Amino acid sequence: MSVGGLDERVEESFEEEEEEFRESFEEEELEVVPITVEEPKNTGPCILLAVTYDGSAGKALCKLYDPSNDKIYYWHDNTGHMPYCLTDLTPDQVKRHAVVVHKGFRGVYEIEKYDPIRDRVLKFSKIVASDPLSIGGRRKSIREILPKAWEDRIPYNNCYIYDARLIPGLYYMVVDGDLKLAPIEIPMDVASEILKIFNGEPSEVLDCVKDWLPLFLIPVPDIPRLAIDIEVFSTANRIPEPSKAEDPVICVSCVSSNGLKRVFMLKREGIDEGVKPKTLPEDVEIRFYDDEGEMLHEVFKLITSYPIIVTFNGDDFDLNYLRHRASNIGIKREEIPLAMGRNYVDVVPGVHIDLYKFFSNRSIQVYAFGNRYKDATLDAVATSLLGVGKITLDRLISELSYYDLAAYCFRDAEITLNLTSFNDGIVMKLIILLMRISKLSMGDVVRRGVSVWIRNMLYYEHRKRNYLIPSKEDIIAAKGVSVTRALIKGKKYMGAIVIEPKPGIYFNVTVLDFASLYPSVLYRWNLSYETINCPHEECKRNKVPELPHWICTKRRGLSSIIIGMLRNMRVYWFKPKAKDKSLDPNVRTWYSVVEQGLKVFLNASYGVMGDENFPLYCPPVAESITAIGRYIISKTIEKAKVLGVDVLYGDT
C-alpha cells in the first residue's frame, strides 16, 4: 500500500494557472473604440454574452445577442453602480485617512457583511471610487493606501455581475430601459424529477437546486459566428511581430456559420495566379485588392456584422496584428472594430473567442475531450477532433501563388470554424454552459482556466448571500495549515491511497467504483473553508478520521452545498439521461454537454482547495478530503475481507 498525491493532471493545470491567477486579480483598462452600437429601450429575449467596463461612459456595459434578428445590442448600467472595496476602518476613521484625498475617492458608508469564518455579522466601510483602476491595478491605488482591504482584487466586470445577479449565457431583455431576466420556461416535469433526487436534503440545498436548474434546462441557440485567419508577408529570417505590424497583410480568410466563404487577397507584383488546387472548395469567393487599407476596411465590415468572431491564436497574432497594422497604414481609430486589452483583443460590437486558449485549457483537454489531442496547435486539435488538419507547405507564405495562398489561409479559417460546429456545436454549447456555471463572460471563460471558473462561481455565491469574501491570509490565520506530511516530493500534504496490485492472472473480477469520490466527500462530510475547524466548541467532537481537524455541525458549508449539488445532478440525472436513447436526440446532446461541463468543474473542485494560488486556499480542507478518501477505501477493504473478497488493487 502506498500514498500518492491528487490527480497529477489537475495539479499540473493549477501550476500552469499561477501566472493567470495573478493577472485575473488585476484590474485592466480595455482600449476604447469610438463606434456607436444600438441601445434600444425595449428588446425581446437576448442572451447575455459579456459584461465589460466602458471607460468612456464610466459604466458597466452588457453585450446582448438577439436571436430573433442576429443583432448585438448594448446596455449600459443605469443603477449608479460604482467600483468599491471594503475596509474595517469606521466611516469616521476613513474620513480622517489619507485615502479621502485620492483622486478616485467618491465616498464611504457603513454596511454589514456576514463573516463565514467567524460565523457572525460584522460592520465594514464600503469605499466607492470613480473607476476600477482607482481601487486597484495602478500605483498608489486605494487598496494600497488602506491598512487592510477586502474584495479589492475582483475585476469590476465580475463585481458588477455579482451585484446585479446576472448570469452570462442566460436570456435577458430590456424593458423600458431596464435590464430584466427574460421569462423563459423550463420543462417543469424534468425539474420535478431532478428535485426528487434531493428529497430529504436541507432547505438551503433545495433552494440552491431550484436556483440552478434553469442554467441546465434552458436551451442554447446556435449563435452566428465568423472565423478569421490572416497571412502576413514574411521572409525566411523574420517572423512578423504584431505590436509593430511592419509587413503587409496579404491574405484574410473569413468563414461563417451561415455559409459565407470569402478570401480577401492583396495583389502583389511577381505573384502568379497559379492552378486552383483541390484543397480549395469550389464555392470559395476570392476578392482581389490593390490597396491593403481598402481590403482591411472590408474585413472590418464583416467583423462588425457578426455577434461572435472566432480565431485560433487571434489574441496573440491575427486580431492583434490587424489592430496595429490598420493604425500603421492610416485607418481611422473609429473604423477599427478591435480593442486591445493586456493579453487579449476584443471586438466591437460582438465578442471574440480565441480557441487556442480554450483548447490549451488542461481541464478541457483531459475531461471534456478525453485527451484526444496532445498538443494545443490548430493542426493537432483539428486533426484529432475533425479528422482534417492544416495544409502542409514546402515554401514561404509570401512565395505561394494566389490560389495556393487562398487554399492555405482558407483551410485554417475553415477548420477554426468547424471546431465550433462539429458534433452538433458541442464546443459553443459547452462554452455557454461554462459561462452559466462560472458566471463569467464568454471571453473570460475561453481565456481563463478552471481555477478561475471555480473562484468566480464561489465569489458569486458569496455575494449573493451577503457573505464577506475572505482573503487567503484570513483563511490561513483562522484555519491553519496542513498537518500531514506528503510522501511525494513537491506535495504539501498526504494524498491518495494506492493498493499495490497483486501480480497474476485473475478471472471473475468485479470492479467497485465510488462515483465522484472526492466531490462526494466534500458534500457528505460538509467540507468547506468556513466549516473546517469552526469557532464552535460543541463541534470539536466531530473529528476528521486520522486528523486533528473538526467539521462544523451547526451550518452547511458553501463549497459543500454547491459542489455536492452539482455532483448529484451529474451522477443521478445528466449522466444517465445523456445515454437514454428514448429521449429526443437534441435533448440527449444537450444533456451530454451538461454532463461534460459538470465533470470539468467537479474533477477540479477538490484540488483547488489545496492549491496555494487559489484565493480560497484552505490546506485543512484539502488534506481532510484525501484523509477521508483513505478512510473510506480502507474501511471498504476491511469489509471486503470480512466477506471473503480478495482485493487485487485499489486507489482513491
Cis preceding linkage at 576, omega within 30 = no
* Beta-carbon-side half-sphere exposure of residue 36 (alpha carbons within 13 Å): 3
CA distance 108 to 136: 17
CA distance 105 to 218: 42
* Beta-carbon-side half-sphere exposure of residue 302 (alpha carbons within 13 Å): 21
* Amino acid code (one letter) for 211: D
Q: What are the average pLDDT values for consecutive 10-residue runs of the chain, which has 652 residues?
A: 38 48 59 90 98 95 97 98 98 96 97 97 98 92 96 97 98 98 93 95 94 95 97 86 96 98 97 95 97 98 98 98 98 96 94 98 93 96 97 93 98 98 96 97 96 96 98 93 65 70 88 86 95 96 95 96 95 95 93 93 86 92 91 89 88 67
At residue 238, the pLDDT reads 79
Domains of the chain: 84-163 (no CATH), 225-428 (3.30.420.10), 450-504+516-651 (3.90.1600.10)
Long-range interactions of 294-299: CB distance < 8 A, separation 24+: 295/249, 295/252, 295/264, 295/265, 295/266, 296/249, 296/252, 296/322, 296/325, 296/326, 296/329, 296/331, 297/331, 297/335, 298/264, 299/228, 299/252, 299/254, 299/264
- Residue pair 360/317 in contact (Cβ under 8 Å)? The answer is no
CA distance 239 to 322: 15
The candidate with the shortest Cα–Cα distance to 292, out of 250, 324, 333, 252, is 250
Q: How far apart are the first and last CA of the chain?
A: 12
At residue 486, the pLDDT reads 58
Q: How many other C-beta atoms can be found within 10 angstroms of the C-beta atom of residue 476?
A: 17
